Amino acid sequence: MSQHDAEAPTPTPVSLSPSDLTDASREVLVHGATDIVNAARASPDHEALAKLDALRQILLMRNERAALAMTLKAQGELARDLNQPTTAARAFDTEWGVRELLKQPFRAHRARLDHAEALFFAGMPDEAEGILRKAQQPARDLALGGKVQEASVQLADTLARLAGLLQARAQHEEAALWLEGAVDIAPDADTKAMVRATPDRFIQSRPRTRSL
């Protein structure tokens, strides 16, 4: 290797924009979507959130469901972290439907719970509570596929989020019962720790007024 080659600077990667993928081949589209999602997670700001929204629209038009679900999950998580619960709720709601179309029941259920929690912080606690109460049976049904431990984690998460919501609404007695049930169902120490920590998310951060 020459001295010139050794001292050559490393090229700076070009930042990919969703518009670059509008007419891209399927392979380029999927790889590009992954790159944009990873970049958004590495630099989680409002510009990244706008890019994810533009990417979501392109993937929706191209009917790339797997990449769309990945993008919606990232969009919902980033919007949640940026205190935009309305945007998060919409992203998780759409992800929930896409995951069901993809026949990914565990990921669909997680999106359902994330949707409910986002609704709570968007000022819609009644709607959030209704979703979490109805989510109990689907969570139990997940065990029918044979993945009992994974289903137990999902059910424990469902009950813990319901407990957190009820506790935030000063329904302490019922909340304590659901939380106790969540801890009992949790299949391992890590899940029990997660369950016990969940209500704090609802209690420490009160929902804003209705915005969805």
For the chain, the domains span 17-82, 106-207
CB count in 10 Å sphere of residue 28? 12
80 contacts: CB under 8 Å, gap ≥ 6: 88, 114, 118, 121
- Got the DSSP string for 104-173? -HHHHHHHHHHHHHHHHHTT-HHHHHHHHHHTHHHHHHGGGGT-HHHHHHHHHHHHHHHHHHHHHTT-HH
State the average pLDDT over residues 70-74: 98
Is the pLDDT reported for residue 9 higher than 50?
no
Say if pTM beats, i.e. exceeds, 0.85: yes
pLDDT of residue 15: 75
Give pLDDT tens digits for 135-191: 999 999 999 999 999 999 999 999 999 999 999 999 999 999 999 999 999 999 999
Average pLDDT, the chain: 91
State the average pLDDT over residues 117-131: 97
3-class secondary-structure state, position 11: coil
Output Rg (C-alpha) for the chain, integer angstroms. Answer: 20
pLDDT of residue 206: 57
Give pLDDT tens digits for 43-60: 999 999 999 999 999 999
Contact between 190 and 156 (Cβ < 8 Å): no
Rounded CA-CA distance 50/78 in Å is 10
pLDDT of residue 1: 45
Phi-psi region of 170 (alpha: psi -120 to 50; beta: other; left: phi over 0): left
pLDDT interval class at 204 (50, 70, 90): confident
